[in-house]
Amino acid sequence: MIKITKFGGSSTADAGQFRKIKAIIESDPSRKFVVVSAAGKRYKEDNKVTDLLYLVDAHCQYHVDARPLLSDIRSRYVSIAHELGLSYPIADEFDDFAAHVSEFDTEYIVSRGEYFTARLMSEWLGLPFVDAAGTVLFHHDGTVNMEATRERVRAEAMRGDGFVMPGFYGTTPEGDIKLLSRGGGDVTGAIVASCIGADLYENWTDVSGFLTADPRIVDNPRSIRRITFDEMRELSYMGASVLQEEAIFPVRAANIPIRIKNTNHPEVHGTTIRETAEMGEDEPLVTGIAGRKDFMSFHVRKNHMADAIGYMRKVLGVFERYGVSIEHVPTSIDSFGVVVNEADVKDKLFSIMRAIEEETEPDELRVLDDLAMISVVGRNLSSAKGTAGKLFSALGEANINIRLLTQSAQEINITLGVEEEDFEEAIRVIYRTFVDD
């Protein structure tokens, strides 16, 4: 059994967190490959080292003195090393970096957050340091060169008994440091897991996995024990995000499950994400509920639309031309809705309406705004009878008007639109009806 463990910034924030990581690694001999993020926030108002490094870079660009910031960052690393009794020459190496900082580009400066964290973690865990520079390799177009990276990662893995690698960056074909997108440590962990052919990719963070609903809306929502990749993508898209989205692809392609674990509560099972998940007896029919506000729906009616072949295409073509991404298209015989993000059409609303009027001659065109969309996700929804009915009556009893409803062909989710003012209550009602009944 090989597990890749990736620890996010909240898990590497200070010496106390480093101690927790060591206990986690030592409690399981299959945890030998470790990817780390730069030290993150120690408390709510604290700053992530990555953000401070972006700020250092901005100071350099505007020729403002960055020394106070650099000294803040330095003291975070030095205090971790000091508290843990590490001998790595972090102060000297940091001073050297600080002395030359104005000569470096943004990507190099920001990458030092994970670099220094990994250096200290390597000594602390007694595992060799493997730099992501020269190991995670990019193509010219900025995508990861998986083949070349696989070769390098495997060569490093063969060398010994595990390693610690900084996340979030790699090198271009020219040998320059290049960053992944924000939160990209998750992607590095997934790349390493895929290259090594791990049995499990453990992503350690400060929450115990995915929750069935947003805790700001539902009190103490249940956590999700098992979820499929598709379900997770649905929920993440609607706002319930724990993991960097791009991190899913390398492991999914290699059929490696991901487990989200909490560094502060390692005893909690967490959420396991895999291609298919058997339903446990105690698991609710609905895996999770997520939603977002600020949608808008264009309601288009064309009498005898069923006979007007190509009519919908023409209307949708207008949105395409204006570069607006379409979220949902609920349809009925003579009418349909085009649901979009309000922000995407804000400046072009009247142009789009005029284009639809002129080019497609609808019998009615209306815009519904202040729309919130809620996605009820569950891999077994399609086989359960009466789900939509139950949903309708629960919301009806609560006096919540469903303004539109769609169900994907794959039927792992039912998506409904409600008035924005009903959004929170609708989620609570759905939660009580399907998760906590």
Instruction: Choose between 258 and 376: whose C-beta lies nearer to ligand ASP.
Output: 258
CB of 418 to ligand ASP, least distance (A): 34
Decide if residue 250 touches ligand ASP (CB under 6 A).
no
CB of 48 to ligand ASP, least distance (A): 5
Locate 202 and state its tokens. Answer: 């453990």
E strand map for 23-157: 31-36
The residues in 159-178 that bind ligand ASP, with binding defined as CB under 6 A, are 167-168
Phi, psi of 203, deg, nearest 5? -110, 105
Residue 120 CB contacts under 8 Å (≥ 6 apart), including other chains = 18, 77, 80, 81, 84, 86, 88, 90
By C-alpha distance, which of 404, 423, 420, 291 is closest to 337? 404
Which among 70-78, 155-163, 180-188, 345-353 is the span making contact with ligand ASP, rule CB under 6 A? 180-188
Q: Helix or strand or coil: residue 6?
A: strand
DSSP state of 314: H
Decide if residue 9 touches ligand ASP (CB under 6 A).
yes
CB of 22 to ligand ASP, least distance (A): 20
Residue bearing tokens 């639809």? 356
* Sheet with 413-419: strands ordered across: 326-328, 335-341, 288-301, 364-377, 413-419, 402-407
Parallel/antiparallel/unpaired status of strands 200-205 and 3-7: parallel
Site string for ligand ASP, 278-317 (x = CB under 6 A): ----------------------------------------
* Binder among 162, 166, 170, 183 for ligand ASP (CB under 6 A): 183
Decide if residue 112 touches ligand ASP (CB under 6 A).
no
Decide if residue 184 touches ligand ASP (CB under 6 A).
yes
Decide if residue 12 touches ligand ASP (CB under 6 A).
no
Enumerate the β-bridge partners of residue 138.
144
Site string for ligand ASP, 72-111 (x = CB under 6 A): ----------------------------------------
Locate 196 and state its tokens. Answer: 């090594």
Locate 82 and state its tokens. Answer: 């000091």
CB 200 within 8 A of CB 261: no
* Binder among 67, 82, 154, 182 for ligand ASP (CB under 6 A): 182
d(CA 138, CA 143): 6
* Binder among 31, 48, 259, 328 for ligand ASP (CB under 6 A): 48
Instruction: Choose between 37 and 262: whose C-beta lies nearer to ligand ASP.
Output: 37
Instruction: Choose between 54 and 237: whose C-beta lies nearer to ligand ASP.
Output: 54
Instruction: Choose between 162 and 183: whose C-beta lies nearer to ligand ASP.
Output: 183
Instruction: Choose between 18 and 434: whose C-beta lies nearer to ligand ASP.
Output: 18
Which among 123-131, 183-191, 268-276, 321-329 is the span making contact with ligand ASP, rule CB under 6 A? 183-191
Query: What DSSP string runs through 381-394?
Result: GGGSTTHHHHHHHH
E strand map for 247-334: 258-262, 271-274, 288-301, 326-328
Q: Which residues would be at the binding site for ligand ASP (CB under 6 A)?
A: 8-9, 37-38, 48, 50, 113, 167-168, 182-186
